[in-house]
Structure 1
Amino acid sequence: MPFKKLDAIIKQKLSELEFDAPTPFQIKSIPVIKSGKNLFCTAPTNSGKTTGLILTTMQKLKCKEVGTAPRATVFVENNEKALELYNNFLKFTKSTSLRVYVCDEREHIDLLKSEIFEGVDILITTPKTMNKLLLLEGVNTTQLKIVSFDDAEFLTNKSVIADVLSATQSIHKCQYIIYLEKMNVTIQNLESYFMHYAGNVIVK
């Protein structure tokens, strides 16, 4: 079972939060994500996509802080989703040394920049804010190991796609995971840009 092959700290937290067994989606996706492959993950609402994202991100970073530059980034649609995901991450990471940072768009970009420089492991942001930070040299992408997109239907917006493509050009040799409910042509076409040789996990 995928949960049994996760870091001991993650398994302890799952027990505390009373996650008894992985969902069918997590059973199919977690081993493939752990392999390092780029992946499109398609499954319905309440199938465990966001929890799977959190668990595999923690696993990738070995549940501990390293350096100051982000090693994982999660892109979300808007500020509300960013704050919601941040709170979900904290449920799992608060007993670890992992530093999770959310780019709250209500704050000035210079404040976000200065706080990120203090040290971040997991960065949660919108593509638009990420691009602003990159233009200001406000985030170091050289240490990124995994980039995820939560509820990625927002990637069908042309301006968002432009921001994502601009941001990913600054990222080298990184695993990409896209989580969504239903695949479409626009998102599938991202394989030509940064989702190279991506696999598919589909749960209906």
Structure 2
Amino acid sequence: MPFKKLIQPLKDTLENKGFDTPLAFQKSILSKIKSGANLFCIAPKGSGKTTSIVLSVIQNLNGKAFEDAPRVLIFVKDKQAALNLELEFNAFKRGTDLRVYCAYDEQNIDVQRDEIYEGVDVVIATPKRLNKIFFLNGINLNKLQMCIVEDAEFLFRNNNLAEITRAPESIGKCQYLVFSTTFDKRFERWRDAFMFNAKIIKSK
């Protein structure tokens, strides 16, 4: 998907940043993400994975806030990863009214629950904190359109894989995207459980 097919606020931001065309890996995945396919996006650092997440989410939501329940959930490894991704969203969502919210362990969970209840479009969360908020009835996952894992290597530490695998049990039909530098054999169980017909797109 060339940048010219993106919504105007994204095109303006990309132009201001001096980005004329997608990177090679972005060319191979952006149109597939737009089509709604479940994907494992495998590529080394510097290939544009994080920017692809941000562009795809903002494009898919048409840059517009809608109702209260989040439509996109992005799992990250820790607080710093959440804040870094939030900064990326803030840089690219200028000209839109999308609401992006970070949920991580160091925050007061009651405050988080109240702030999410007030209405968000995109939630960036660590797995353990997301599940705690969910079991406190602090987040509605029924409206999710996209569930994404950034830098998925962290899943195989500290029981994160089990924490994230619980989430789809509470999600209806949804697009799943996993971004990683390598494809781990343990992902195969996701293809059987909820990432039906998922494709593996590797950097060439």
State the Cα deviation string for residues 15-41 of structure 1 (Å, max 9, x = none). Answer: 112212110010000000000010000
2:26 and 2:195 mapped to 1: Cα distance? 20
* Structure 1 counterpart of 2:26: 26
Counterpart of 1:78 in structure 2: which amino acid? D
Local SS of the residue matching 1:37: coil
Deviation at 1:153, TM superposition (A): 0.8
* Structure 2 counterpart of 1:44: 44
Local SS of the residue matching 2:159: helix
In the alignment of these two chains, the number of paired residues is 204
Question: Structure 1-normalised TM-score?
Answer: 0.96
- Aligned-CA RMSD value: 1.2
* Fraction of identical pairs, as percent: 40
Deviation at 1:66, TM superposition (A): 0.4
Counterpart of 2:196 in structure 1: which amino acid? H
1:60 and 1:76 mapped to 2: Cα distance? 20
2:86 and 2:188 mapped to 1: Cα distance? 27
1:16-95 counterparts in 2 under 5 A?
A: 16-95=16-95
Deviation at 1:188, TM superposition (A): 3.2
1:51 and 1:84 mapped to 2: Cα distance? 12
Question: Structure 2-normalised TM-score?
Answer: 0.96
Deviation at 1:158, TM superposition (A): 6.3
Stretches of 4+ aligned residues off by more than 3 angstroms: none
1:18 and 1:113 mapped to 2: Cα distance? 38
Query: Is 2:112 the partner of 1:112?
Result: yes
**Residue pair 1:40, 1:199 contacting (<8 A) in 2 also:** yes
Local SS of the residue matching 2:33: helix
* Structure 1 counterpart of 2:201: 201
Counterpart of 1:34 in structure 2: which amino acid? K
Q: Which moved more, 1:77-86 or 1:27-36?
A: 77-86
Local SS of the residue matching 2:170: coil
Counterpart of 2:92 in structure 1: which amino acid? F
1:68 and 1:150 mapped to 2: Cα distance? 24
* Structure 2 counterpart of 1:97: 97
Q: Which moved more, 1:90-99 or 1:46-55?
A: 90-99
* Structure 1 counterpart of 2:135: 135
